[in-house]
Amino acid sequence: MNHFIMQRCIPFLFFVFLQACSAKQPEQEAHLAKPSPQQYAWQEQERSMFIHFGMATWQGREYDNFSTDLSRVNPYKINTDDWCKTAQSFGAKQIIFVAKHVGGFCWWPTETTDYNVKHIPWKEGKGDLVAEVSASCKKYGLRLGIYLYPGDDKWGAGLGSGGRTSDPSKQEAYNKIYRQQLTELLTNYGTMTEVWFDGNCVIDVKDILEAHAKEAVIFQSPQASIRWSGNEEGYAPYPAWNSLSSADLQTGVAIAVHGDPDGDAWAPLECDATLYNHNWFWSPANEAKRRSVNELVKIYYRSAGRGAVMLLNATPDTLGVIPAGDVARFAELGKEIDRRFSTPLKSVTDIKGSEVIISFDNPTAVNHIVTMEDYREGERIRAYHIEGWIDNEWKLLCSGSSVGRKKIDFFKDVTVSKIRLKITKSAAAPLIRSLTAYHITDTPELFEEDKKPLSEWRTLNAWMPDMFRDGQIDMNINLTHYIPVPGQYEIKIKSRAVDNSHSGSAVQVSHTELWYDGEKALDEFVTVKDSTVLINRTAQVTNETSIVLKMTLSAVDAVKSSGRIFVRKMP
């Protein structure tokens, strides 16, 4: 009898064992990108302050044109403690200081150039602004990041060059200069937690970063560990995935549109925004462009509220003082964020699973839900619903896809007795860090329609069969008036047969080059996918800027092909 029972039970037990293993398999097979300790610490900051201050401040421009007489540059009222207090007033945990912007003026006493702080009257040429910022950050418990523009106009490495000199014979010498500058900044001023290479960096600095920036995240360059959102308006396009493919990340210019929840590399988004819409450097005229608190709150919702880091710019005047109106606006922003999110109705924390419920003792008015994921184990949530228990049934309040560090959802007031988060799709068992309900009053800006219309296609150019030579057309397309601000732009090639049917010869883009102000930009700024050209415009646009796309079209049967070219700013 016992032998018979064992014969029957063993297969059954083996089946149960297999089922149990199978149930765990999805979680075991999930190979998710995860943040490094440096990335996690950086992303937890949520808010940072940029500080742009340079010769452009004295010129009322966005880029240094070398017109400033250094003998009159004396920002004698600089108090970097005040800069740190301003950063803290809106909740920033880090300052990123622009040590060298386009043009090449250095705010520390480097030996690599005479165009530096030693040659201005401030502190009789003995000042070191990087040292003062570093000391103040340490005093106020702020982390410090450094911005070192890869280019230098004096070396012929201009906008969009990534540090590539227009004269190849100067490249090796400039590489040494830039490497020394980066080494000085990373070894003389304490721990850096972020290094900004604006617009990529073609100079090999990997060894320097590995040796001296172990606690830092890197913005752009082949060593990038964070990404640009793709615009300077301070928002992360949604969904805002933290991961992407390693191949895209290593281009040095990956942005939000490269996000892939199944990517093998972790690189969260940073959303930089100007306080002056849209200028990075102070001038009396720019003060009139100061964003309202409501505008800044919207930026917060669309950056930090989508799991990214909000990076808001401050810019001192020619005395080295952040204007009083700006200081007040930063403080107002911080107070408004605290007003909205410092007193939740109720919160639950540390839940593993696909469903989380908040229960109220009495029917309660709710209009905000903040979901946070424990993303240290990767971004597991791929889709979710938030529902309210109303009239004895669950009713949908909102839904979404990416959560990551934080997702702020908002809706019109609704009275509920329970709130339920349902994860409808995940890559592994969801890890909910917290689910928090709020009722926030006076939020009119959230339900106002944006004043700017959605980007529409605009006609750039056209072609006819007789324009082809040996099956190709070379075009120089002036984009200056079509790219008013930094961001991601899309150019669409639409071919048509000469008889107006849709069976014309297929036209392909066989070559592209982007030129800023007469200088060729890095190839990585242009990506061709089928009949679409994506342009990553990273540099500030001014009235003096020229942007030209050089493009070659190819057709197998050119005599059958005509068509038009369109452009739009990607939403």
DSSP letters, 533-555, are EEEEE-SPP-TT--EEEEEEEEE
The upper half-sphere exposure of residue 458, i.e. CA atoms within 13 Å in the direction of its Cβ, equals: 12
Residue range 63-91: average pLDDT?
A: 97
- The CATH number of the domain holding residue 110 is 3.20.20.80
Same domain, 241 and 131: yes
Paired tokens of 337: 């964020």
- Residue pair 88/137 in contact by the 8 Å Cβ criterion: no
pLDDT of the residue at 543: 67
Same domain, 106 and 239: yes
E-strand spans in 401-544? 407-426, 431-438, 458-463, 472-478, 487-497, 507-516, 519-520, 526-529, 532-537
Q: Give residue 20's pLDDT band: very low, low, confident or very high (50, 70, 90).
A: very low
373: left (phi over 0), alpha (psi -120 to 50) or beta: beta
For residue 184, count other CB atoms closer than 10 A to its CB: 19
Same domain, 337 and 376: no
The helix (H) or strand (E) run that includes residue 364 is strand 355-373
Same domain, 56 and 156: yes
The helix (H) or strand (E) run that includes residue 347 is strand 346-352
Q: Which residue has the higher pLDDT, 210 or 519?
A: 210
- Residue pair 553/472 in contact by the 8 Å Cβ criterion: yes
Domain encompassing residue 304? 37-341
Residue range 184-190: average pLDDT?
A: 98
Q: What is the pLDDT of residues 358-391, one digit of tens each?
A: 999 999 999 999 999 999 999 999 999 999 999 9
pLDDT at residue 17 tops 50 = no
pLDDT at residue 484 tops 90 = no
- Residue pair 98/145 in contact by the 8 Å Cβ criterion: no
Q: What is the pLDDT of residues 194-250, one digit of tens each?
A: 999 998 999 999 999 999 999 999 999 999 999 999 999 999 999 999 999 999 999
Helix (H, G, I), strand (E, B) or coil at 441: coil
Give the closest residue to 416 by CA, choosing from 479, 379, 363, 461: 363
Whether residue 13 lies inside any domain: the answer is: no
pLDDT at residue 534 tops 60 = yes
Give the closest residue to 376 by CA, choosing from 17, 25, 33, 23: 33
Same domain, 476 and 509: yes
- CA 309/CA 304 separation, integer angstroms: 5
Residue 75 — φ and ψ, nearest 5°? -80, 65
- Residue pair 224/255 in contact by the 8 Å Cβ criterion: no
- Mean pLDDT of all residues in the chain? 90
Q: Which residue has the higher pLDDT, 9 or 124?
A: 124
Q: How far, CA to CA in Å, does 193 sit from each of 91, 179, 231, 499, 519? A: 17, 18, 23, 61, 32
Q: Which residue has the higher pLDDT, 511 or 484?
A: 511
Q: Which residue has the higher pLDDT, 214 or 506?
A: 214
Paired tokens of 22: 């199978």
Q: Which residue has the higher pLDDT, 129 or 547?
A: 129
Same domain, 388 and 464: no
Which residue has 């398999």 as its token pair?
25
Q: What is the pLDDT of residues 430-481, one digit of tens each?
A: 999 999 999 999 998 888 766 555 568 888 887 778 778 888 888 888 888 8
pLDDT at residue 24 tops 70 = no
Same domain, 223 and 143: yes
Whether residue 10 lies inside any domain: the answer is: no
Whether residue 472 lies inside any domain: the answer is: yes
Q: What is the pLDDT of residues 234-251, one digit of tens each?
A: 999 999 999 999 999 999
Whether residue 358 lies inside any domain: the answer is: yes
For residue 438, count other CB atoms closer than 10 A to its CB: 19
Percent of the chain with pLDDT over 90: 72
- Enumerate residues 6+ apart whose C-beta is below 8 A from 282: 53, 57, 276, 315, 316, 317, 318, 323
Whether residue 12 lies inside any domain: the answer is: no
Paired tokens of 239: 């969904």
pLDDT of the residue at 15: 42
Which residue has 């073609």 as its token pair?
202
Helix axes 324-341, 293-302, angle to 10 degrees: 50
- Enumerate residues 6+ apart whose C-beta is below 8 A from 142: 84, 87, 88, 92, 93, 94, 95, 136
Paired tokens of 147: 């911005």
For residue 96, count other CB atoms closer than 10 A to its CB: 27
Whether residue 509 lies inside any domain: the answer is: yes
Domain end, chosen from 409, 444, 479, is at 444
pLDDT of the residue at 494: 86
- The CATH number of the domain holding residue 534 is 2.60.40.740
Same domain, 102 and 173: yes
Domain end, chosen from 292, 309, 341, is at 341
Same domain, 369 and 435: yes
Amino acid found at 295: E
Which residue has 């592209």 as its token pair?
512
- CA 192/CA 102 separation, integer angstroms: 21
- CA 47/CA 312 separation, integer angstroms: 8
Whether residue 17 lies inside any domain: the answer is: no
DSSP letters, 177-234, are HHHHHHHHHHHSSS--SEEE-TT---S--HHHHHHH-TT-EEESSTT--BEE-SBSBS
Same domain, 43 and 92: yes
Angle at 138 between CA 134 and CA 140, to 5 degrees: 120
What single-letter DSSP state applies at residue 469? B
Q: Give residue 13's pLDDT band: very low, low, confident or very high (50, 70, 90).
A: very low
Same domain, 208 and 225: yes
- Residue pair 243/262 in contact by the 8 Å Cβ criterion: yes
Same domain, 280 and 173: yes
Domain end, chosen from 303, 318, 341, is at 341
Q: What is the pLDDT of residues 248-281, one digit of tens each?
A: 999 999 999 999 999 999 999 999 999 999 999 9
- CA 490/CA 484 separation, integer angstroms: 14
The number of angstroms, rounded, from the C-alpha of 453 to the middle of its chain's C-alpha atoms is 22
Residue 477 — φ and ψ, nearest 5°? -105, 120
> What does pTM read for this prediction?
0.87
pLDDT of the residue at 518: 81
What single-letter DSSP state applies at residue 146? E
The helix (H) or strand (E) run that includes residue 563 is strand 561-569
Percent of the chain with pLDDT over 70: 90
Give the closest residue to 270 by CA, choosing from 242, 225, 311, 221: 311
Domains contained in the chain, number: 3
Residue 319 — φ and ψ, nearest 5°? -90, -5
Whether residue 450 lies inside any domain: the answer is: no
